[in-house]
Amino acid sequence: MTNQQYEIATFAGGCFWCTEAVFKRLKGVFEVTPGYTGGTTPDPDYEKIHSDNTGYAEGIQITFDPNIISYEQLLDVFWATHDPTSLNRQEYDEGTEYRSAIFYHDDQQKKDALASQKRLEQDGTYKKPIVTEIVPFKSFYPAEDEHKDYYEKYRYSTYCRVIIDPKIKKLMTNFKDEVKNEYK
Protein backbone atom coordinates (compact mmCIF):
# COMPACT_ATOMS: atom_id res chain seq x y z
CA MET A 1 0.00 0.00 0.00
CA THR A 2 1.34 3.40 -0.91
CA ASN A 3 -1.21 5.49 0.97
CA GLN A 4 0.47 6.92 4.07
CA GLN A 5 -2.75 6.90 6.12
CA TYR A 6 -2.76 3.11 6.34
CA GLU A 7 -1.08 1.25 9.17
CA ILE A 8 -0.09 -2.38 9.69
CA ALA A 9 -0.98 -4.69 12.58
CA THR A 10 0.36 -8.22 12.96
CA PHE A 11 -1.38 -10.78 15.18
CA ALA A 12 -1.24 -14.51 15.80
CA GLY A 13 -4.37 -15.96 17.35
CA GLY A 14 -4.26 -19.62 16.40
CA CYS A 15 -5.20 -20.76 12.93
CA PHE A 16 -4.77 -18.03 10.33
CA TRP A 17 -7.88 -19.25 8.49
CA CYS A 18 -9.87 -18.13 11.55
CA THR A 19 -8.19 -14.81 12.17
CA GLU A 20 -8.26 -13.82 8.49
CA ALA A 21 -12.02 -14.53 8.32
CA VAL A 22 -12.68 -12.38 11.39
CA PHE A 23 -10.54 -9.35 10.61
CA LYS A 24 -11.40 -9.01 6.92
CA ARG A 25 -14.99 -8.27 7.97
CA LEU A 26 -14.09 -5.07 9.83
CA LYS A 27 -14.69 -1.56 8.52
CA GLY A 28 -11.41 0.22 7.85
CA VAL A 29 -9.55 -3.02 7.19
CA PHE A 30 -8.37 -3.02 3.60
CA GLU A 31 -6.30 -6.17 3.49
CA VAL A 32 -5.71 -9.21 5.67
CA THR A 33 -2.87 -11.49 4.65
CA PRO A 34 -2.41 -14.88 6.30
CA GLY A 35 1.19 -15.91 6.79
CA TYR A 36 4.04 -16.82 9.07
CA THR A 37 5.56 -14.53 11.70
CA GLY A 38 7.69 -14.65 14.82
CA GLY A 39 10.26 -17.16 13.62
CA THR A 40 13.88 -17.13 12.64
CA THR A 41 14.49 -19.59 9.81
CA PRO A 42 14.39 -18.26 6.24
CA ASP A 43 11.54 -18.96 3.82
CA PRO A 44 8.96 -20.67 6.03
CA ASP A 45 6.01 -22.45 4.49
CA TYR A 46 3.02 -24.34 5.82
CA GLU A 47 4.74 -27.72 5.81
CA LYS A 48 7.91 -26.43 7.49
CA ILE A 49 6.19 -24.59 10.31
CA HIS A 50 4.06 -27.62 11.12
CA SER A 51 6.88 -30.17 10.96
CA ASP A 52 10.02 -28.33 12.10
CA ASN A 53 10.87 -26.10 15.00
CA THR A 54 10.96 -22.89 12.95
CA GLY A 55 9.62 -20.62 15.68
CA TYR A 56 6.95 -19.24 13.36
CA ALA A 57 3.31 -18.80 14.24
CA GLU A 58 0.39 -18.78 11.87
CA GLY A 59 -0.46 -15.09 11.82
CA ILE A 60 -2.13 -12.34 9.89
CA GLN A 61 -0.97 -8.96 8.74
CA ILE A 62 -3.71 -6.35 8.65
CA THR A 63 -3.61 -3.17 6.56
CA PHE A 64 -6.04 -0.70 8.11
CA ASP A 65 -7.03 2.95 8.12
CA PRO A 66 -6.72 4.27 11.70
CA ASN A 67 -9.17 7.04 10.84
CA ILE A 68 -11.87 4.36 10.44
CA ILE A 69 -10.79 1.68 12.92
CA SER A 70 -8.18 2.18 15.59
CA TYR A 71 -5.42 -0.17 16.60
CA GLU A 72 -7.11 -0.37 20.00
CA GLN A 73 -10.33 -1.58 18.34
CA LEU A 74 -8.36 -4.23 16.45
CA LEU A 75 -6.88 -5.33 19.76
CA ASP A 76 -10.37 -5.60 21.28
CA VAL A 77 -11.44 -7.90 18.43
CA PHE A 78 -8.21 -9.89 18.72
CA TRP A 79 -8.67 -10.57 22.44
CA ALA A 80 -12.36 -11.43 22.08
CA THR A 81 -12.16 -13.84 19.15
CA HIS A 82 -9.59 -16.33 20.42
CA ASP A 83 -8.44 -17.72 23.76
CA PRO A 84 -5.45 -15.68 24.96
CA THR A 85 -5.14 -17.90 28.05
CA SER A 86 -4.37 -21.08 26.14
CA LEU A 87 -0.65 -21.71 25.67
CA ASN A 88 0.22 -22.92 22.17
CA ARG A 89 -3.30 -24.08 21.47
CA GLN A 90 -6.56 -22.85 19.95
CA GLU A 91 -9.43 -25.31 19.92
CA TYR A 92 -8.18 -28.48 18.18
CA ASP A 93 -5.01 -26.87 16.84
CA GLU A 94 -1.99 -27.47 19.06
CA GLY A 95 1.66 -26.43 18.82
CA THR A 96 3.77 -23.28 19.08
CA GLU A 97 2.63 -22.33 15.57
CA TYR A 98 -0.84 -21.72 17.09
CA ARG A 99 0.32 -19.48 19.93
CA SER A 100 -1.28 -16.17 20.79
CA ALA A 101 0.93 -13.18 20.00
CA ILE A 102 0.87 -9.51 19.18
CA PHE A 103 3.79 -8.34 17.06
CA TYR A 104 4.02 -4.59 17.53
CA HIS A 105 5.44 -2.37 14.79
CA ASP A 106 6.27 0.69 16.90
CA ASP A 107 6.36 1.98 20.46
CA GLN A 108 2.74 3.17 20.32
CA GLN A 109 1.47 -0.28 19.31
CA LYS A 110 3.52 -1.81 22.12
CA LYS A 111 2.06 0.66 24.62
CA ASP A 112 -1.50 0.04 23.37
CA ALA A 113 -1.08 -3.75 23.42
CA LEU A 114 0.32 -3.79 26.96
CA ALA A 115 -2.40 -1.40 28.17
CA SER A 116 -5.17 -3.53 26.63
CA GLN A 117 -3.77 -6.68 28.22
CA LYS A 118 -3.48 -4.96 31.60
CA ARG A 119 -7.08 -3.74 31.34
CA LEU A 120 -8.32 -7.29 30.65
CA GLU A 121 -6.34 -8.63 33.58
CA GLN A 122 -7.64 -5.93 35.92
CA ASP A 123 -11.23 -6.40 34.72
CA GLY A 124 -11.01 -10.13 35.36
CA THR A 125 -12.23 -10.83 31.83
CA TYR A 126 -10.47 -14.19 31.86
CA LYS A 127 -10.36 -16.64 34.75
CA LYS A 128 -6.89 -17.90 33.74
CA PRO A 129 -3.76 -15.79 33.14
CA ILE A 130 -3.26 -14.29 29.67
CA VAL A 131 -0.31 -15.99 27.95
CA THR A 132 -0.26 -13.85 24.78
CA GLU A 133 3.22 -12.77 23.76
CA ILE A 134 3.65 -9.06 23.07
CA VAL A 135 6.87 -8.84 21.10
CA PRO A 136 8.51 -6.68 18.44
CA PHE A 137 7.66 -7.40 14.82
CA LYS A 138 10.59 -8.86 12.89
CA SER A 139 9.31 -10.47 9.71
CA PHE A 140 6.23 -11.74 7.96
CA TYR A 141 6.01 -14.22 5.09
CA PRO A 142 2.69 -14.48 3.24
CA ALA A 143 1.13 -17.94 3.22
CA GLU A 144 0.66 -19.96 0.07
CA ASP A 145 -2.35 -19.06 -2.10
CA GLU A 146 -4.42 -22.06 -0.97
CA HIS A 147 -4.56 -20.56 2.55
CA LYS A 148 -5.89 -17.17 1.44
CA ASP A 149 -9.65 -16.62 1.76
CA TYR A 150 -9.98 -20.13 3.17
CA TYR A 151 -13.25 -19.44 4.95
CA GLU A 152 -14.89 -18.06 1.81
CA LYS A 153 -13.67 -20.99 -0.29
CA TYR A 154 -14.62 -23.74 2.17
CA ARG A 155 -17.45 -22.11 4.09
CA TYR A 156 -19.41 -25.34 4.53
CA SER A 157 -16.53 -27.59 5.55
CA THR A 158 -16.65 -29.10 9.01
CA TYR A 159 -13.65 -27.04 10.17
CA CYS A 160 -15.27 -23.78 9.12
CA ARG A 161 -18.63 -24.64 10.65
CA VAL A 162 -17.23 -25.93 13.95
CA ILE A 163 -14.23 -23.65 14.52
CA ILE A 164 -14.60 -20.46 12.47
CA ASP A 165 -18.38 -19.91 12.52
CA PRO A 166 -18.49 -19.37 16.31
CA LYS A 167 -15.77 -16.71 16.00
CA ILE A 168 -17.72 -14.97 13.24
CA LYS A 169 -20.88 -15.16 15.35
CA LYS A 170 -19.03 -13.60 18.30
CA LEU A 171 -17.74 -10.85 16.01
CA MET A 172 -21.26 -10.16 14.69
CA THR A 173 -22.68 -10.08 18.21
CA ASN A 174 -20.00 -8.12 20.06
CA PHE A 175 -18.67 -5.86 17.29
CA LYS A 176 -21.61 -5.46 14.90
CA ASP A 177 -21.04 -1.71 14.49
CA GLU A 178 -17.50 -2.35 13.26
CA VAL A 179 -18.52 -4.99 10.66
CA LYS A 180 -18.62 -4.02 6.99
CA ASN A 181 -22.13 -3.88 5.54
CA GLU A 182 -21.47 -6.63 2.97
CA TYR A 183 -20.89 -9.09 5.83
CA LYS A 184 -23.99 -8.25 7.88
Phi and psi at residue 27, to the nearest 5°: -60, 140
d(CA 10, CA 135): 10
In 3D space, the residue among 68, 58, 87, 83 whose CA is nearest the CA of residue 170 turns out to be 83
The strand ranges marked E within 44-99 are: 57-64, 89-90, 93-94
Pairing of strands 93-94, 89-90: antiparallel
Contact 17, 83 (CB under 8 A): no
CB 12 within 8 A of CB 38: yes
The reply to whether 15 belongs to the active site is yes
The active-site residue, picked from 8, 12, 15, 102, is 15
Catalytic annotation, residues? 15
